[in-house]
Chains A and B, each alone.
Chain A
Amino acid sequence: MSESTRIVLELTGPLERAVGRDEVTIPWTGDGRLGDLLLRFCHEYPAAGEWLDGDGGLGRPDAAFPAGFLVIRDSAALPAKLDTPVVAGDRLTLMPLISGG
């Protein structure tokens, strides 16, 4: 899959553990919304839903950004908004915030 037809997601911590992989590739072309990317990710990897879509409402028009969750591009956290733009070729890190002491 070429860069123009996919987005690569690096997974960390408990999300990596839940999905069983440290990186996944999501087929994607052109521009889109982060919320739609997360939905597609949860659809392809249902174990991620426990972290990203706890109440199953991620697809609703009034859905809130998942609590305690960073999406990182180029070492910067993206705005915690589902309508944040994403584009084919992106390489993003999905980082659930952790609370272990």
Chain B
Amino acid sequence: MSHLESGSSVSPRISADLSDEERETYAWQLDVRDFGEVGQRKLKGASVLVSRVGGLGSAVAYELAAAGIGRLILAHAGNVRPSDLNRQLLMTHDWLGKPRIESAVRRLKELNPRLEIVGVGENLSPSNADRLVGMADCVVDAAPMFQERLAMNDAAQRQGKPVIEAAMFELEASLTVIHPPETASFREWVPEVPAGWKRRFPVVGAVSGTVGCLAAMEAIKLIVGLGKPLKNRLLRIDLRSMRFDTIRLR
């Protein structure tokens, strides 16, 4: 393993080379401008923490697994319930009543058996955030509770790691990249748990999937050094009207 210096926001370790089978699997994305084999090797050497693999995090993890990320650290507590199945694409009917994290690992391994997965049957909290964030090059925040988002962002800021903040509500969604001091910290916008937010929120699975795919793309961009990540900008999505706006945050 070597360390690759680049223009990316994270510096993943990379394997020296891709196997022939990997070149064949990723052939179509190796042709992407500014991506190529170097980008693929960066992905292979990278670790991403996804906080909860529910509706949004399932899509993030699935796209990263398909893209050839080297390692995923997944954190999600609890067992699969019927009400998960409208959106949590890594959960299956035959796994009802069994741990969500096991279902997620199993499904991702079916897609990409080369993928290394650390499955943690816990949600992010102040007591485990530093340990879990410490295992990753970057973090995708897909948690339903602001308490988890605050704990994760605090840990990521302490460790200088970027956080992709993705969230949805009904037919709306938002996405931004937090990486102080280049951007404001999460706490500058959310110093404490906001009034009004409820654990249960209205959700159509396709909305989670939409923003999950976009969040995965932001993770890939950060790791590979591709394009222009959503730093100091927030993408606001309203799928009721198919309106996509970018809000300047600084």
Q: Do A and B come from one complex?
A: yes
Closest Cβ–Cβ distance, residue A101 to chain B (whole Å): 4
Interface-located stretch among A1-9, A27-35, A90-98: A90-98
Whether B193 sits at the interface, judged by CB under 8 Å, is: yes
Whether B26 sits at the interface, judged by CB under 8 Å, is: no
Contact across chains for B190 and A68 when beta carbons are under 8 A apart? yes
Whether A85 sits at the interface, judged by CB under 8 Å, is: no
Contact across chains for A54 and B195 when beta carbons are under 8 A apart? yes
CB contacts between A and B, total, < 8 Å: 102
> Contacts A98-B168, A100-B169, A101-B208 given: A51-B196 contact, CB under 8 Å?
yes
Q: How far is the CA of A54 from the CA of B146 in the complex (A)?
A: 15
> Contacts A68-B146, A77-B247 given: A101-B56 contact, CB under 8 Å?
yes
Q: How far is the CA of A91 from the CA of B197 in the complex (A)?
A: 25
- Residue from B144, B170, B193 within 8 A of A67 (CB atoms): B193
Q: Which residue of B lies closest to A14 (CB)?
A: B169
Chain B, residues 124-136, CB within 8 Å of chain A (1/0): the string is: 0000000000000
Whether B191 sits at the interface, judged by CB under 8 Å, is: yes
- Residue from A54, A75, A97 within 8 A of B190 (CB atoms): A97
- Residue from B144, B167, B246 within 8 A of A97 (CB atoms): B167
Contact across chains for B145 and A99 when beta carbons are under 8 A apart? yes
Contact across chains for B195 and A99 when beta carbons are under 8 A apart? no
> Contacts A75-B246, A77-B248, A97-B189 given: A68-B197 contact, CB under 8 Å?
yes
Which residues of chain B (117-169) have a CB below 8 Å from chain A?
Answer: 142-146, 149, 166-169
Contact across chains for A101 and B189 when beta carbons are under 8 A apart? no
Contact across chains for B54 and A75 when beta carbons are under 8 A apart? no
Q: Which residue of B lies closest to A74 (CB)?
A: B248
Which residues of chain A (11-70) have a CB below 8 Å from chain B?
Answer: 12-14, 17-18, 50-55, 64, 66-70
Q: Which residue of A lies closest to B187 (CB)?
A: A67
Contact across chains for A100 and B191 when beta carbons are under 8 A apart? no
Whether B218 sits at the interface, judged by CB under 8 Å, is: no
Residues of B within 8 A of A51 (CB): 194-196
Closest Cβ–Cβ distance, residue A54 to chain B (whole Å): 2
Residues of A within 8 A of B246 (CB): 75
Contact across chains for A96 and B194 when beta carbons are under 8 A apart? yes
Residues of B within 8 A of A88 (CB): none
Chain B, residues 176-199, CB within 8 Å of chain A (1/0): the string is: 000000000000111111111100
Q: Which residue of B lies closest to A55 (CB)?
A: B195
- Residue from B57, B149, B247 within 8 A of A72 (CB atoms): B247
Whether B28 sits at the interface, judged by CB under 8 Å, is: no
Contact across chains for B142 and A101 when beta carbons are under 8 A apart? yes
Q: Which residue of A lies closest to B176 (CB)?
A: A97
Contact across chains for A98 and B167 when beta carbons are under 8 A apart? yes
For this complex, 26 residue pairs linking A to B, each with C-beta atoms less than 8 Å apart, are: A13-B172, A14-B196, A14-B201, A51-B194, A64-B191, A67-B190, A67-B193, A67-B194, A68-B189, A68-B197, A72-B247, A77-B247, A77-B248, A80-B189, A97-B167, A97-B190, A98-B167, A99-B143, A99-B144, A100-B55, A100-B168, A100-B203, A100-B208, A101-B52, A101-B55, A101-B144
